[in-house]
Amino acid sequence: EAQVTQNPRYLITVTGKKLTVTCSQNMNHEYMSWYRQDPGLGLRQIYYSMNVEVTDKGDVPEGYKVSRKEKRNFPLILESPSPNQTSLYFCASSTSGASYEQYFGPGTRLTVT
């Protein structure tokens, strides 16, 4: 089944404890992206990647890191999480750019205390 998977689905952590949210797609997509969703703000793009080893900042990259060492994986790293990073995070992928349909993962609910 073609899909985007994210792990973990739910995470509660403490301020400053490094964490990684994994994202993997099995559709051989070139484009991958991370978003955060907050009430009243919609979804905002954190980082995106057009291909392996190519990443670019989205609208809200501060406090996040990404890497794209393999085509299928695009992990999101929070090196020192803070409470304002409590949010719902979505990973997405598309064939070859944001102009195509993006397929979204199920979301990761992160709480930082």
Least Å distance between CB 41 and other proteins? 6
Nearer to other proteins, 31 or 64 (CB): 31
Q: How far apart are the first and last CA of the chain?
A: 36
Answer for the pair 72, 80: CB distance below 8 angstroms, yes or no. Answer: no
Instruction: Decide: helix, strand or coil at residue 84.
Output: helix
Structure tokens at 108: 């990761």
Q: Catalog residues that contact other proteins under the rule CB under 8 A.
A: 31, 33, 35, 40-45, 48, 50, 56, 58-59, 88, 90, 92, 97-99, 101-102, 104, 106-107
Nearer to other proteins, 18 or 88 (CB): 88
